[in-house]
Structures are given as C-alpha cells and as structure tokens.
C-alpha cells in the first residue's frame, strides 16, 4: 500500500509552482498524492482530469492579519483530513506554504518537506519557518547557496519537463500561427505571468529595435496578469502603440495549449528582472524540450538552466538594447537557432526530464520516512 503525501499549495492562481506540483503528482509511483489548495481553479481542474485526489480549504498568507482569525479552523480542517487519510509526510509546494506544513507536521508527528523555487533573504526564511522543516528541495544551486550558509538541510532537485507533453515531433505550431494571423512571420514567444518583474515591458521596448532590423517580427506575450497588477496588460498594449509596434505585439492571454505556442515560435525569450528572484526558469526547459533557441536574462538560477552560447543567449537584466541585439542575432541566423535548439533538447533530456525529477523527490521521501 502506497503511503500518502499531503501537498500544500495555498496560492490558487496557476503558474510555475502549481504546474510543477501538477506534473509531479501525476507521475509519482511509490506514493499516493493528496493535494490541499485554497480554492478550485486551473490546478484542481487538471488534478481532477488526471485522477489526483484534492480538497480545498481556505489558506491565506500566513503572516497577514486578515488570515489569523481563520487559522484555527484551517488547521483543524487540515489536521482532521490528514488523520483520516493517514498522511505520512507533508510537502509544502512553496515557501509561503511552509508555516502551514510545519505546524501541521508538529501536530501529526510527520516529516515536512518544503520546495523553495525563488531566492529569498534571511528574514523571509525565518518568518516562514524554513529552518524548522526536515528537508528543503531547492530548484537550483542559486536557491540552495544561501541555505547552505544558514545550515538548513537541502537537496537540489531541478524542475522537470514532461517530454511526452512537450513533444517537438508530435506538435505543430501551424494552428497557432493561423489563429494569430501571423503567417510565416518570425515569431518571438514570451510565456509566463504578466508582471512588472517578468520583463514584458522591456521586451516591448526592445521590439522597437527588433522591427527595424527584422520588420516582420512579431512578439507574442502569453499569460495572465498578476492580480496585484490588474490593468498591466492594457498598459503594455498602450506602450507598444506609443513605440509604433502595436501591430507587432500580440496578447492572447492565458492559454492551456502552451506546447503548441512553443511549436509555433522561432525564439523563446525570458527577460526577467532581478526583482523577479527567478530560482529556475520553467519557461526555458519547456522551450528547450520543444527544440527552441532561447534568450534570457543572467539572473537567479537561469544560467544553470541554459548554456550561454550553446542553447541560447544570456543578457543583463533590464538591458533593452542587449535583449534586442540577441533577438535579432537569432532571428537572422536560422542555422544558429536550429543548432541551439538541438543542444537545448539534449540538455533537457540529460538534466530536466520529469522522470528524473520524480525519482529524486521520491528518494527524499524514502530517506525521511526510513526507520
């Protein structure tokens, strides 16, 4: 009988962390996953389709005053469900979920794992009880380095990409290109949450230079706007219009058919700023799995994912002109794009295959649960 692992994912908005959780829980072989999240949404829809059990319980940000009145009720709900399901281990999917996991773990007497997906200062580590968990899973060495300095137990486990879903041979981007009305135009893809830290503004500014050099180029910004920055997409559209590239920038919104968008792209970009505190860069392994050359910023864990000059090009965060030059370089050199795409694909197979990630995570569970 497989032992049960409770996964806590407080933030309901779908993004890189919930995507990683979804992929992991659907591939576990030695453990039974049970997911607790704040409310129904894209994550629960996907879990339901895949047959992964879940339940919802209101979980606000632990340190916000408006969360405190409900904390006893929330913890009681989690405790009772965990006892009923005979939970053997708790896996917190982000730093923000860690206080719930640590408190529940103490009540149940079970080990707690926290996934850390971004870089954080010491203050956050202490406030969110990371020093009280049994093991931290860090998505890159950039995330792990501060943990080592502070004496927190960790293992580096890179995010993995499902090579059956992101299959460059099985997918075509023709349907996406028809839908967007871009024909054979050189297509830049910028996937991810629309947020001021993610570099969409800088990418649009770079397009002013790009279209001078490659007039037919199109930038496709795919993703939903952060709730904290409602209206940002409209601001970005206005910026593109002011710069004279309004017709060359397309915003399809959040999409469920991302593999097809990668298939349609010529180059995939990830121009995150330092303030994004990127721990890894899931966008990059998805692009590389699809055999696409990439351009990204030299920040956080990104340089661990890409091999500069081999699988893509790295530029300084916030450097609009450097971003434009790198994009133009790749758009003008099809052979270079193909070569980088092939090397990127080989790198994903070697280091970022989801199957490897699952094995590593289950080995951590085995170690913590062994007598």
pLDDT per residue as tens digits for the range 94-153 = 999 999 999 999 999 999 999 999 988 888 888 899 999 999 999 999 999 989 888 899
pLDDT at 354: 97
What pLDDT, on the 0 to 100 scale, is given for residue 124?
Answer: 82
Assess whether pLDDT exceeds 90 at residue 346: yes
φ, ψ (nearest 5 deg) of residue 38: -70, -40
Q: Is the pLDDT of residue 63 over 80?
A: no
Of all helices (H) and strands (E), which one includes residue 94? none
Domain ranges in the chain with CATH number 3.40.50.2000: 3-160+353-369, 174-351
pLDDT band of residue 16 (cuts 50, 70, 90) is confident
Which of 56-70, 187-201, 264-278 has the least mean pLDDT?
Answer: 56-70
Contact 141, 126 (CB under 8 A): no
What was the pLDDT predicted at 66?
A: 83
- What are the φ and ψ backbone dihedral angles of 221, each rounded to 5 degrees? -100, 105
Percent of the chain residues past pLDDT 90, beyond the cut: 86
> Long-range contacts: 149-153, Cβ < 8 Å, 24+?
150/122, 150/125, 152/125
pLDDT of residue 87: 98
The reported pLDDT for the residue numbered 14 is 83
Q: Rounded mean pLDDT of 76-84? A: 97
Contacts of 363 (CB under 8 A, 6+ apart): none
pLDDT confidence bin for 371, thresholds 50/70/90: confident
Query: HEC string of 237-265?
Result: HHHHHHCCCHHHEEEEECCCCHHHHHHHC
Q: What is the mean pLDDT of residues 249-270?
A: 96
C-alpha to C-alpha distance for 117 and 89, rounded to whole angstroms: 20
Q: Longest C-alpha distance within the chain, in Å?
A: 65
**Torsion angles phi and psi, residue 140, rounded to 5:** -160, 165
**How would DSSP label each residue in 148-214?**
HHTT--EEE----B-TTTS-TTT--SHHHHHHHT-TT--EEEEES-B-GGGTHHHHHHHHHHHHHHS
Tokens of 45: 């829809």
Whole-angstrom Cα distance, residue 132 to residue 138? 15
> Tens digits of per-residue pLDDT, 146-184?
898 888 999 999 999 999 999 988 889 999 999 999 999
Residue 240 to residue 218: CA distance in whole angstroms? 12
Higher-confidence position of 16 and 79: 79
Span 267-296, mean pLDDT?
96
| 366-to-2, 72, 106, 111, 158 alpha-carbon distances in Å | 12, 31, 19, 11, 18
- Residue 371: CB atoms within 10 Å: 2
Given 3.40.50.2000, 3.20.20.220, 2.40.50.140, 2.30.30.110, which CATH number is that of 174-351?
3.40.50.2000
Alpha-carbon span 55 to 282, nearest angstrom:
26
Residue 85 is encoded by which pair of tokens?
């399901």
Question: Which residue has better confidence, 63 or 139?
Answer: 139
Confidence of residue 1 (pLDDT cuts 50, 70, 90): confident
Q: Is 177 left (phi over 0), alpha (psi -120 to 50) or beta?
A: alpha
pLDDT score of 214: 98
The confidence score (pLDDT) of residue 229 equals: 80
* pLDDT attached to residue 225: 87
Which pLDDT score is estimated for 126? 83
If you classify domain 3-160+353-369 with CATH, what class do you get? alpha beta
Taking 80 as the threshold, does the pLDDT of residue 228 lie above it? Answer: no
- Stretch among 150-154, 198-202, 242-246 having the lowest mean pLDDT: 150-154
Q: What is the CA radius of gyration of the chain?
A: 21
In this prediction the pTM is 0.92
Query: Would you state the pLDDT for residue 308?
Result: 95
Residue partners of 121: CB distance under 8 A and separation at least 6 = none
Task: Calculate the average pLDDT of the chain.
Answer: 95
């Amino acid at each position: 009988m497989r032992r049960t692992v409770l996964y806590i994912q407080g933030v309901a908005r779908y993004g890189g962390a919930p995507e990683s959780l979804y992929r992991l829980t659907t591939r576990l072989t030695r453990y039974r996953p049970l997911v607790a999240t704040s409310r129904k949404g894209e994550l629960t829809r996907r879990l339901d389709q895949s047959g992964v059990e879940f339940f919802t319980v209101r979980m606000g940000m632990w340190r916000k005053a408006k969360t405190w009145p409900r904390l006893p009720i929330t913890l009681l709900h989690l405790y009772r469900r965990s006892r009923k399901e005979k939970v053997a281990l708790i896996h917190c999917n982000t730093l923000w979920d860690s206080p719930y996991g640590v408190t529940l773990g103490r009540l149940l007497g079970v080990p707690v794992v926290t996934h850390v997906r971004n870089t954080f200062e010491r203050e956050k580590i202490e406030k969110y009880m990371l020093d009280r968990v049994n093991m931290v899973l860090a998505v890159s060495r950039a995330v792990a380095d501060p943990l080592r300095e502070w004496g927190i137990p960790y293992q580096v486990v890179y995010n993995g990409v499902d090579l059956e879903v992101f299959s460059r041979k099985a997918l075509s981007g023709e349907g996406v290109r028809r839908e967007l009305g871009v024909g054979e135009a050189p297509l830049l893809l910028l996937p991810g949450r629309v947020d001021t830290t993610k570099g969409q503004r800088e990418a649009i500014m770079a397009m002013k230079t790009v279209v001078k050099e490659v007039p037919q180029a199109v930038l496709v910004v795919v993703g939903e706007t952060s709730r904290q920055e409602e209206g940002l997409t409209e601001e970005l559209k206005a910026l593109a219009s002011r710069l004279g590239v309004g017709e060359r920038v397309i915003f399809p919104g959040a999409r469920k058919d991302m593999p097809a968008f990668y298939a349609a792209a010529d180059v995939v970009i990830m121009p995150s700023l330092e303030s994004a505190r990127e721990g890894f860069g899931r966008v990059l392994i998805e692009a590389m799995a699809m055999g696409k050359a990439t351009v990204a910023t030299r920040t956080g864990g990104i340089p661990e994912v890409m091999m500069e000059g081999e699988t893509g090009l790295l530029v300084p965060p916030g450097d609009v002109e450097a971003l434009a030059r790198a994009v133009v370089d790749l758009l003008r050199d099809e052979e270079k794009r193909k070569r980088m795409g092939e090397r990127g694909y080989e790198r994903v197979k070697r280091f970022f295959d989801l199957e490897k990630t699952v094995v590593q995570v289950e080995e951590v569970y085995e170690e913590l649960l062994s007598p």
